Amino acid sequence: MEIKGSIKNGIITLALKGRMDMANAADAEQAFLKYSEEGSKFVLNFTDVEFIASAGIRALLTLYRTVCDREGGIVTIINAQPQVVEVLQETDFAELFNI
Amino acid sequence: MGLAFDFLQTACFIIVLSYVLTRTNVLNDDKATAGTSKYKLAVISLIFLFISLYGVVIRAHLVSGVYVDTRIAGIAMAGMIFGYAPAALVLIPTVTISIFIGDVTVAADVVAMFIAFALSGYCHKHFPRLDAVLSGIIIGILEIAHMLLIVWLVRPMSAAKTIIYSISFPMIVINGLAVLLFVLVMKDLNDRKRLWNKEKRIQSEMAVARNIQMSLLSKDFEIDPRLDLHAYLEPAQEVGGDLYAYTIDDGHFFKFIVGDVSGKGISAALTMSRCETIFQDMVRYSDNPAELMTALNKRMCDNNKAGMFITATVGFLDLNTGKLIYSNAGHLSPLLVTEVDAPVVLDKPKGKPLGILSGAAYSNMEYTLDYGRYLVLITDGVTEAENVGRELFGSDRAQESVTGLSNICASMIDDAIVDSVSEYSNGADQSDDITIMSIGIRKTPFEYSINSDIKELTKVANEINKDMANTSADASVRDDIALVIEEYVSNIIKHSDKGKGTGKIRIGIWPEETNAIIQIEDDADAFNQFEADSPMLSVDPEKRQPGGMGIHMTKNRVVDYSYYGDDGGNLITMYLRSQKDKND
Q: For B434-476, write each residue's pLDDT tens digit.
A: 999 999 999 999 999 999 988 999 999 999 999 999 999 999 9
Quick check: B223 contacting A, CB < 8 Å?
Answer: no
Residues of A with CB under 8 A from a CB of B: 21-23, 51, 53-55, 57-58, 61, 68, 82-83, 87, 90-93, 95-96
Confidence of residue B543 (pLDDT cuts 50, 70, 90): low
Interface A–B counts its CB contacts (< 8 A) at 54
The reported pLDDT for the residue numbered B545 is 58
pLDDT in tens, B49-73: 777 777 666 655 554 444 556 788 8
CB B139 within 8 A of CB B72: yes
Whether the CA torsion B98, B102, B105, B106 is positive or negative: it is: positive
Q: Centre a 10 Å sphere on the Cβ of residue B5 and count the other Cβ atoms it contains.
A: 10
| Helix/strand number for chain A, H first, E second | 3, 4
The reported pLDDT for the residue numbered B63 is 43
Q: Could you list the beta-strand ranges (E) of B319-424.
A: 323-329, 335-337, 344-345, 365-368, 374-378
Sheet holding B253-261, edge to edge: B242-249, B253-261, B310-318, B323-329, B365-368
ipTM of the complex: 0.94
Residue B468's contacts (CB-CB under 8 Å, 6 or more residues apart) are: B446, B478, B481, B482, B509, B511
- Name the residue of chain B whose CA is nearest to A20's CA: B483
Confidence of residue B536 (pLDDT cuts 50, 70, 90): low
pLDDT at B93 over 80: yes
The reported pLDDT for the residue numbered B304 is 85
Nearest-CA distance B443 → chain A (Å): 29
Residue B533's contacts (CB-CB under 8 Å, 6 or more residues apart) are: B548
The reported pLDDT for the residue numbered B65 is 46
Give B140 or A31, the one with higher predicted confidence: A31
Residue B145's contacts (CB-CB under 8 Å, 6 or more residues apart) are: B112, B115
Residue B453 CA from chain centroid, whole number = 58
Confidence of residue B185 (pLDDT cuts 50, 70, 90): confident
Strands A41-52 and A74-78: parallel
- Mean local confidence (pLDDT), A21-38: 92
Nearest to B458 among A22, A58, A96 (CB): A22
The reported pLDDT for the residue numbered B549 is 87
CB B462 within 8 A of CB A23: yes
**Residue percentage of chain B with pLDDT more than 70:** 86
Q: Which residues in chain A touch residue B476, judged by CB atoms under 8 angstroms apart? A: 82-83
Lowest-pLDDT choice from B64-68, B114-118, B298-302, B448-452: B64-68
Task: State whether A91 and B483 contact (CB < 8 Å).
Answer: no
Lowest-pLDDT choice from B239-253, B299-313, B498-512: B498-512
Cis status, amide bond into A82, omega within 30 of 0? no
Nearest to A21 among B461, B537, B553 (CB): B461
The reported pLDDT for the residue numbered B488 is 95
User: Alpha-carbon distance A89 to B547, whole Å?
Assistant: 16
Task: State whether B541 and A58 contact (CB < 8 Å).
Answer: no
Quick check: B476 contacting A, CB < 8 Å?
Answer: yes
The reported pLDDT for the residue numbered B584 is 47
What amino acid is encoded at B322 in this protein?
G
Instruction: Note which residues in 528-547 of chain B have CB less than 8 A from chain A.
Output: 536-537, 541-542, 546
Confidence of residue A18 (pLDDT cuts 50, 70, 90): very high
Q: What is the DSSP string of B213-259?
A: HHHHS-----S-TTEEEEEEEE-SSSS-SEEEEEEEETTTEEEEEEE
Nearest-CA distance B278 → chain A (Å): 45
- Name the residue of chain A whose CA is nearest to B547's CA: A54
Task: State whether B461 and A23 contact (CB < 8 Å).
Answer: yes
- Name the residue of chain B whose CA is nearest to A92's CA: B541
User: Alpha-carbon distance B337 to B399, whole Å?
Assistant: 9
Length of chain A as a residue count: 99
User: Alpha-carbon distance B125 to B153, whole Å?
Assistant: 30
CB B336 within 8 A of CB B376: yes
pLDDT at B421 over 50: yes
Instruction: Note which residues in 477-496 of chain B have CB less than 8 A from chain A.
Output: 479, 482-483, 486-487, 490
pLDDT in tens, B249-278: 998 999 999 999 998 788 899 999 999 999
Nearest to B549 among A22, A23, A57 (CB): A57
Which DSSP state fits B392? Answer: B
Q: Which residues in chain A touch residue B550, judged by CB atoms under 8 angstroms apart? A: 53-54
Q: Which residues in chain A touch residue B461, judged by CB atoms under 8 angstroms apart? A: 21-23
Give A38 or B12, the one with higher predicted confidence: A38
pLDDT at B498 over 60: no
Q: Which residues in chain A touch residue B458, judged by CB atoms under 8 angstroms apart? A: 22-23
Mean pLDDT of chain B: 86
